[in-house]
Amino acid sequence: MQYSLTYKPSKTRSKHWLLKIWEPAAKPNAFDPAAAPYLYKVQYWLNSKDEAEVVLMEHFSQYGVRPIGVFAA
């Protein structure tokens, strides 16, 4: 699984952190070898990086794994 956390300030949105999570595709696309092996799963608009860490831990715990990496602003 992969994830990205991006800070996107906005005047119209109260939450400024966008967390996106991708999961591996069930089967590689044999017709398009250049196709991405990961499928977009879900996104969350959050208030802080701390909130993103909690969401990631909950999401990844469903699969018995922990996210690896450091958040970058």
Tens digit of each residue's pLDDT (9 = 90 or more) over 3-40: 888 999 988 889 999 999 887 776 666 677 666 677 77
What are the residue ranges spanned by the domains of the chain?
2-61
Q: Distance between CA atoms of 8 and 60, rounded to whole angstroms?
A: 24
Write the pLDDT tens digit of every residue in 52-67: 888 888 887 777 766 5
Amino acid at residue number 28: P
Strand ranges for the chain from DSSP E = 2-7, 17-24, 38-46
The SS3 assignment for 51 reads: helix
The H or E element spanning position 59 is helix 49-61
- Predicted TM-score of the model (pTM): 0.67
